[in-house]
């Protein structure tokens, strides 16, 4: 079966050692604290941001209370769908947790795309996956009730951590803002999920006990 390149890290793995070293010889490492703005809407697209560690939220503007477009996890590019299509970023990116970013040179990246057809195809697959993810996030959250939205978010973390036990490094208020419901509804739904045996939780730690039922709520709630 043809491999689908559904992460930036997966896409970069196509590069040869020589190409990888060429790309990273022109890069810079940056660190951001939780709450810091990484990319401001309207800023010029001069480089490519690769998220080495941490969680980033994309929003329509730089203010923390603006509409959330999506979350990005380790191994993703930030704003990659703007890099070769527009001169400015169309949304803002903010660190939700401590983040480590590799700032890649746009021209070197473009050169490697021209020279390496396999890398170029992997990049096209990745861009398609990113755009589908944007639509998926928006459509699924907008049509959900509070339980469905929370279940969807928990399932997103489970997929990205590839484990049924993980930590959501967000406050209940931040979770509420991301899914578009009140903090009270988040607390109530978490309590309901525990009572129904869907999850176990202790602070920010979550263990999914009944993944199939939780996915049903995420899909139909």
Quote the pLDDT of residue 164: 93
Task: Give the per-residue pLDDT at 83.
Answer: 83
pLDDT score at 1? 32
> Chunked in runs of 10, what are the mean pLDDT values of the chain (221 residues)?
56 92 93 94 91 90 64 89 83 92 94 94 87 72 84 90 89 88 93 95 92 91 74
pLDDT at 217: 92
pLDDT of residue 11: 86
Together in a domain, 210 and 115: no
Indicate the residue among 94, 116, 137 that finishes a domain: 137
Residues 214 and 190 in one domain: yes
Task: Look up the pTM and report it.
Answer: 0.83
CATH code of residue 198? 1.10.10.10
Q: How far apart are CA 50 and CA 134, in angstroms?
A: 18
Q: Please tell me the predicted confidence (pLDDT) of residue 210.
A: 95
- Do 75 and 162 belong together in one domain? no
On whether both 148 and 117 belong to a single domain, the answer is: no
The predicted pLDDT at position 63 comes to 52
170: containing domain: 144-220
Q: Are residues 117 and 150 in the same domain?
A: no
2 domain residue, yes or no:
no
Residue 3: inside a domain, yes or no? no
| Statement to judge: residues 27 and 43 lie in one domain | yes
């Amino acid at each position: 079966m043809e491999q689908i390149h559904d992460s930036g890290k997966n896409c970069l793995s196509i590069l040869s050692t020589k190409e990888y070293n060429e790309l990273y010889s022109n890069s810079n490492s940056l660190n951001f604290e939780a709450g810091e703005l990484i990319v401001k809407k309207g800023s010029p697209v001069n480089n490519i941001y690769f998220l080495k560690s941490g969680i980033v939220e994309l929003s329509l503007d730089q203010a923390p209370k603006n509409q959330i477009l999506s979350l990005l996890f380790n191994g993703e590019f930030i704003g990659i769908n703007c890099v070769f299509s527009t001169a400015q970023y169309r949304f803002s990116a903010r660190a939700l947790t401590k983040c480590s970013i590799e700032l890649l040179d746009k021209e070197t990246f473009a050169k490697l795309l021209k020279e390496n057809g396999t890398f170029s195809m992997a990049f096209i697959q990745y861009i398609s996956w990113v755009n589908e993810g944007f639509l998926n996030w928006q459509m699924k959250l907008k049509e959900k009730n509070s339980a469905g939205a929370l279940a969807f978010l928990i399932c997103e973390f489970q997929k990205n951590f590839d484990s049924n036990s993980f930590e959501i490094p967000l406050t209940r208020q931040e979770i509420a803002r991301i899914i578009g419901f009140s903090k009270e509804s988040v607390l109530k739904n978490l309590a309901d999920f525990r009572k129904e045996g869907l999850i176990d939780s202790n602070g920010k730690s979550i263990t999914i006990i009944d993944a199939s039922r939780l996915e049903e709520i995420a899909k139909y709630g």
